[in-house]
Structure 1
Amino acid sequence: MRGRLLVAAVAAVALSGISAPQALAGASVSGQDEMFLMQAHQGNLAEISAGHDAQKNAMSACVKHVGAVLVRDHTKLDADVKMLADKLNMTLPTSPSAEQKKELAAVQAKAGSPAYDAAWLTTQDAAHRKTLALIDQEIKAGKNPEAVAAARTARPVVAMHLDMVRGGTCHAAKDAGMVRAGTGGHLAAADDSSATAGIAGVIGGGLLAAGGAAWLLHARRRPAHKG
């Protein structure tokens, strides 16, 4: 009897340690999540291209610096998006959208003149406002915990970029210089929300099951009290 109790207790611990990770790994991916990852990837590609172009064609050092920041940050953010898309077996677009390409071409047509800098800043102001709206929609309506976490990670970065180009005026001093993204930044963000809850559930469930098993064994071993 004691042996059967021990086997049951061990099984309870094993099951409690498996259930939560499986629930997280099996989280569904909605159409909203897929749209976010695809558009975020295209946005990152567009910002990287625009950043490189500003470094090459901008007249002011400020715009050149902002361009470098976009390349730096969106490269890191896109590493997260691509890693998550691969994990979810999603195929991402290979280039910016046709509209994004057209917008950059319009700015490039002004290269070599001060009009380039003004056009570049105005275009980036509008682009980052759209990206923030995309991010906020994912945070509000996304179903996949990691996709939502990726959006939360990206938001302060994109908001900082918007501050750097807000109103079509260059503000290089807004560069915070640190980005919580790249090499799984969205996973780090998830640690503060659903992932932490899942891990806590695993640990808590395991401890409860182990405690229950120990109590059962102790009860079986304890001699009956004689009154």
Structure 2
Amino acid sequence: MFSRYLLAAVTVTAALLAPATTAPAARRLDPDAAFLRTAHQGNLAQIALGRITVRRATDPAIRRLGARFAADSVRLDLAVRAAARSLDIELDQEPNSTVQQSIMVYRSAPDADFDQFFVSSQAMLHDQAARVVRTELNDGDEVAARRIAQRTLTVIRKHRAVLGHFGQ
């Protein structure tokens, strides 16, 4: 049963971090805009998933980790929103359908497996997020977006180090 939820998390994570391919014509489609939109949705996901973890995890250390991930994502998203405003990039105000799906997966994960599910899925999510960030650092040209990417990579590395203490 756990493997079914882990597979669902992998699928959701991959979809969450894929750049948006459909956008209104008025939206900028450059790499920096795509990165900021993806980072924003990733932050919305991390905030929601972290809050779910605070309520559902049985291990107090995992609950604290969920709270930390959510708080770090709130701070990162403030910077993402500010950069998007300065670059005239429109961000969705609500979580997209992929983020909503990931929230449903977290909510429906079995209680007995939740802590392990959180650690495993977060390890994958952070690894994929790091790839998205590195793409921005390689391809982006807007200083504001690149600064956020560098800051995000620092947070990802810290989170991965903590996840490593749980065997991931």
Whether TM exceeds 0.5 here: the answer is yes
Q: Give unmatched runs, 5+ long, in structure 1.
A: 1-28, 172-227
Specify the SS of the correspondent of 1:104: helix
Listed one character per residue, the Cα deviations across residues 48-67 of structure 1 (whole Å, up to 9, x for unaligned) are: 00111111111111110101
Q: Give unmatched runs, 5+ long, in structure 2.
A: 1-27
Specify the SS of the correspondent of 1:129: helix
**Alpha-carbon offset, residue 119 of structure 1:** 1.3
Residue matched to 2:153: 155
Residue matched to 2:61: 62
Specify the SS of the correspondent of 2:120: helix
Residue matched to 1:144: 142
**Alpha-carbon offset, residue 114 of structure 1:** 2.6
**Alpha-carbon offset, residue 30 of structure 1:** 6.7
One-letter code of the match for 1:63? Answer: I
Q: How does 1:1-227 map to 2 (within 5 A)?
A: 31-110=30-109, 113-166=111-164, 169=166
**Alpha-carbon offset, residue 97 of structure 1:** 3.4
* Count of equivalent residues: 141
| CA–CA distance in structure 2, aligned partners of residues 117 and 102 of structure 1 | 19
| CA–CA distance in structure 1, aligned partners of residues 63 and 167 of structure 2 | 10
| CA–CA distance in structure 1, aligned partners of residues 114 and 87 of structure 2 | 40
Alpha-carbon RMSD: 2.0
TM-score scaled by length of structure 2? 0.76
**Alpha-carbon offset, residue 73 of structure 1:** 0.7
Specify the SS of the correspondent of 2:127: helix
**Alpha-carbon offset, residue 83 of structure 1:** 0.6
**Alpha-carbon offset, residue 166 of structure 1:** 4.2
- Which protein has the larger Cα radius of gyration, Structure 1 or Structure 2? 1
The answer as to whether partners of 1:30 and 1:142 remain within 8 angstroms in 2 is no
**Alpha-carbon offset, residue 105 of structure 1:** 1.5
C-alpha change, 1:36 and 1:56, in structure 2 (3 Å) is: same
One-letter code of the match for 1:145? Answer: V
C-alpha change, 1:165 and 1:101, in structure 2 (3 Å) is: farther
| CA–CA distance in structure 2, aligned partners of residues 97 and 45 of structure 1 | 9
